[in-house]
Amino acid sequence: MKEQHHVISIGRQLGSGGSAMGRAIAEHFGFRYIDKEILVKAAERLELSEESLELIDERNSSIWGALAQIAVYDMPYVADAWYTPTSKQLFETQTQIMREAAEEGPCVIIGRCASYLFRNYEKHTSIFLQADMDSRMARLEKTLKKPVKGTRKRKHIEHEDRERARYFNTFTGKKWLDLRGYDLVLDTTYFTDEQIEEILFQYITARFPELK
């Protein structure tokens, strides 16, 4: 029987600190951090550019995109630039990459339905971070390192949340915001990053005492 490694999955609303906290957890425990690098590996396996995959990462391809691909397959020759995989193809490729990563060593995985994919994994725990809109808008502006009009930020955040929800709901059959699907749910609104890190570190070591 193969040795199981620890897997920490982090679901997050945009602007709630998921990526920053994931990196902090990975650094603190010496785990591998997995987020955008999945796209790089998926692009290599699908023989496509990373930029083309970013368009559908944690998103659903529209019916028009699917119909366009059906038409493309009927053409005698199509350059790579004309082909974009469906969300399902990307999801399956990313799932394989995540499972391989978990076999190789302990890791922190951001989004991409990891909370569901590893739900029956003995050494897995799932965390979901949320925050109020003002806090999320402020964090997004800090991340972008430039001021953005409030209306634009709010619309961007709401759009990304809808896309993540549709992606999760489609490929898991569960609701992204059904908080019963996570082991720990934390509202980051009222805490500094240092306080959030401390809460998460304490939770993880309480869940897995061997990591102390």
pLDDT of residue 144: 74
Residues 31, 106: contact at Cβ < 8 Å? yes
Residue 196 is predicted with a pLDDT of 98
pLDDT digit string (tens) for 178-188?
Answer: 999 999 999 99
Enter the tokens of residue 203. Answer: 């939770």
As a three-state string, the secondary structure of 60-125 is CCCHHHHHHHHHHHCCCCCCHHHCCCCHHHHHHHHHHHHHHHHHHCCEEEECCCHHHHCCCCCCEE
Note whether residue 2 is domain-resident.
no
> What are the beta bridge partners of residue 9?
109, 126
Can you give the residue range of the structural domain that contains 126? 7-205
At residue 12, does pLDDT exceed 60?
yes
Indicate whether 98 belongs to any domain.
yes
**Residue 42 in 3-state DSSP?**
helix
80 — pLDDT class (breaks 50, 70, 90): very low
Number of structural domains the chain divides into:
1
pLDDT band at 79 (very low <50, low <70, confident <90, very high): very low
Residue whose structure tokens are 């009222």? 190
What CATH number is attached to the domain comprising 19?
Answer: 3.40.50.300
Residue 212 forms part of a structural domain: no
Given a cut of 70, whether residue 205 has pLDDT beyond it is yes
Contact 145, 46 (CB under 8 A): no
Token pair belonging to 211: 């990591």
48: confidence class by pLDDT, cuts 50, 70, 90: low
Q: Would 211 be classed as within a structural domain? A: no
Residues 185 and 118: beta-carbon distance below 8 Å: no
At 107, list the tokens: 């890791």
Dist. CA 132–CA 140, nearest whole Å: 12
Specify if 106 maps to a domain: yes
160 in any annotated domain: yes
**Would you say 39 and 54 are in contact if contact means Cβ atoms under 8 Å apart?**
yes
Residue 56 lies in a domain: yes
Within 8 A by CB and 6+ apart from 4, the residues are 121, 122, 123
Give 26-46 pLDDT, tens digit per residue.
999 999 999 877 666 666 766
The amino acid occupying position 35 is D
Sheet holding 107-110, edge to edge: 32-34, 107-110, 7-12, 124-130, 184-187
